[in-house]
Structure 1
Amino acid sequence: MTATTTSAVTVPARGVKAFPLAAGQHLRITDQEGGQVGDLFVYRTDDPGEYLSASHTRAATSRLFPAVGQQFVTNLRRPVLTLAEDTSPGRHDMLIAACDAERYRALGVPRHASCAQNLVDALAAHGIHTDSIPQPVNVFMDVRVDADQLVRRPASTRPGDSITFTAVVDCLAVLSACPQDLAPVVNDGDPTPLSVTVFSDGPAGA
């Protein structure tokens, strides 16, 4: 079997892109320069009111983050993605909320770009309007649980590290290259781009 690439896109630093996925297609996120966090959101194509839920996924897997081969589920507890491959050190987060306008207002920068606004803008471009921001899958973000404390560490990804998901159903994936540059532990204080490749399995020679 070979892979047939349908799209390869760079999500610019602080930017966002949306990726329609058919069931069975793969979404690979690559950290171009290392140390960059990406906020991933996923919505079912046939019902945007059903979306990837971090809390339901933790309950389904009994893990803070799924292992390769395990599935992410929606707010209706139905599979939406499978974790297919991970060439990174394997630290990803599903505990920390997306950065938003209120977070940056508290930091004294009210007009700062945010993952929450990136999501709203990306969905609007696809005719989907929402005031609710789900808990994202924070790929490459290293958050450790130490007793009752959450300890944030710099992302340990190296240039070229990647994580690959397989769509279980037709869905719309949205990836924000996190714009956080005020907390040095996130993105090393200097956001950089992420690469996304959407591909399908095809017969040899395809």
Structure 2
Amino acid sequence: MDLTAAAYQSVPGGPLDVDRAFYTAIRDRSPQQQSLVEDLTVPIRSGRAWVVPAGHVCRITTIEGPQVADLNIWSLADPRERMWAARTRQLQAAHVTEFDRLWSTLPFLRPMVTITGDSLRDYGEDSEGGRVHDLLGTRCDPYVNRMLEGEDFDYHCHSNLTRAIAPHALTEFDVHDVLNVFQCTGLNDRDEYFMKTCPAQQGDHFEFFAEFNLLVALSTCPGGDLSVPMFGEDAGDALSVCHPLGVEVFALDDELLAGWEQPRRAAYAGQHGMAGREWVDADRA
């Protein structure tokens, strides 16, 4: 028995076995098989939120140069359902790429998106153990900045995302652990989280397919490409290494969606052992 095998597995054809032929066809689609329905730019040290309808594709592009970004996703119908970074790490990987999925929180537990395009998919693991598109860490925020640096700064990713979702009647309590798009990270020999300079270049992209109607928000990190440390003795002003990001949403031809169905929420129908008052008596026993 392989003691280092993935803890969460399913049988062939099960919920973790993605239909690669279906998503490959979407990745390799022709320009004639899509139509642009949304085109926006996220300026430096800012955030934007937008809708991605079910069956549409969203592409994030480094339009001017390397830039890391923090991604949040909610169900458009019920924002209590949102991306679950921790479970995605267990079901997929700590760094994601094509054919991986981003999963939603309990009690929903279903794939929100499937990654269909990643121009950095061949980056793999570098000599320091770094990989891209990170679920290990989370967003930078003004609270930890105040704690470590003793100063207030309003343009961390947490704040950028908070401002981005405010027009959608959401607050900072709805901001959650992120996918760090284009970010290169890992764990060092002391099991500590590290961040490296972003390996993306102008024109790199990260693309995903919406499995149901979604609200998506993205922050362009104030650290830019992370070549300048954000914290510690070597910290500096990273403004010169910040770049905007482009976002496009595409509708797909019906032929590409043949046979696809939106995923249903988790099938668990129990009541966590709390039916009636039986659980109280069992606890007292």
Per the TM alignment, residue 131 of structure 1 is displaced from its structure 2 partner at its CA by 2.0
Q: Where has structure 1 moved over 6 Å in runs of 4 or more?
A: none
User: Which 5+ residue runs of structure 2 have no aligned equivalent?
Assistant: 1-31, 124-131, 231-236, 256-285
Per the TM alignment, residue 136 of structure 1 is displaced from its structure 2 partner at its CA by 0.5
> What amino acid does structure 1 have at the position aligned with 2:173?
D
Task: Determine the C-alpha separation between the residues in 2 that align with 1:200 and 1:155.
Answer: 30
- Which deviates more from structure 2 when the two are superposed, residues 47-56 or residues 146-155? 146-155
Per the TM alignment, residue 55 of structure 1 is displaced from its structure 2 partner at its CA by 0.5
Structure with greater strand share of residues: 1
Structure with greater helix share of residues: 2
The alignment of Structure 1 onto Structure 2 pairs a total of residues equal to 202
| Equivalent pair of 1:99/1:180 in contact (CA under 8 Å) | no
Deviation digits for residues 18-59 of structure 1 (CA, Å, limit 9, x no counterpart): 110111111100012332101000000111011011101111
Verify: 1:102 aligned to 2:143, yes or no: yes
Higher relative contact order (CA 8 A, sep 6+): 1
Task: Determine the C-alpha separation between the residues in 2 that align with 1:194 and 1:122.
Answer: 15
Verify: 1:196 aligned to 2:247, yes or no: yes
Per the TM alignment, residue 103 of structure 1 is displaced from its structure 2 partner at its CA by 2.7
Question: CA, structure 1 residues 29+99, in 2 after alignment: closer, same or farther (shift >3 Å)?
Answer: same
Q: 2:100 aligns with which of 65, 70, 82?
A: 70
Question: CA, structure 1 residues 13+130, in 2 after alignment: closer, same or farther (shift >3 Å)?
Answer: closer
Match of 2:113 in 1: 81
| Equivalent pair of 1:39/1:138 in contact (CA under 8 Å) | yes
Verify: 1:114 aligned to 2:156, yes or no: yes
> What amino acid does structure 1 have at the position aligned with 2:140?
C
Per the TM alignment, residue 203 of structure 1 is displaced from its structure 2 partner at its CA by 6.5
TM-score, normalised to structure 2, is 0.66
Task: Determine the C-alpha separation between the residues in 2 that align with 1:130 and 1:149.
Answer: 27
User: Which 5+ residue runs of structure 1 have no aligned equivalent?
Assistant: none
Q: Where do residues 16-35 of structure 1 align in structure 2 (5 Å cutoff)? A: 16-35=47-66
Match of 2:179 in 1: 137
Query: Pairwise CA RMSD of aligned residues?
Result: 2.2
Per the TM alignment, residue 185 of structure 1 is displaced from its structure 2 partner at its CA by 4.4
Q: Percent identity?
A: 30
Task: Determine the C-alpha separation between the residues in 1 that align with 2:252 and 2:211.
Answer: 14
Task: Determine the C-alpha separation between the residues in 1 that align with 2:163 and 2:245.
Answer: 18
Task: Determine the C-alpha separation between the residues in 1 that align with 2:140 and 2:193.
Answer: 16
| Equivalent pair of 2:94/2:134 in contact (CA under 8 Å) | yes
Deviation digits for residues 126-183 of structure 1 (CA, Å, limit 9, x no counterpart): 1123425311000001002234132211000010000001101101000111113697
| Equivalent pair of 2:137/2:193 in contact (CA under 8 Å) | no
Question: CA, structure 1 residues 112+127, in 2 after alignment: closer, same or farther (shift >3 Å)?
Answer: closer
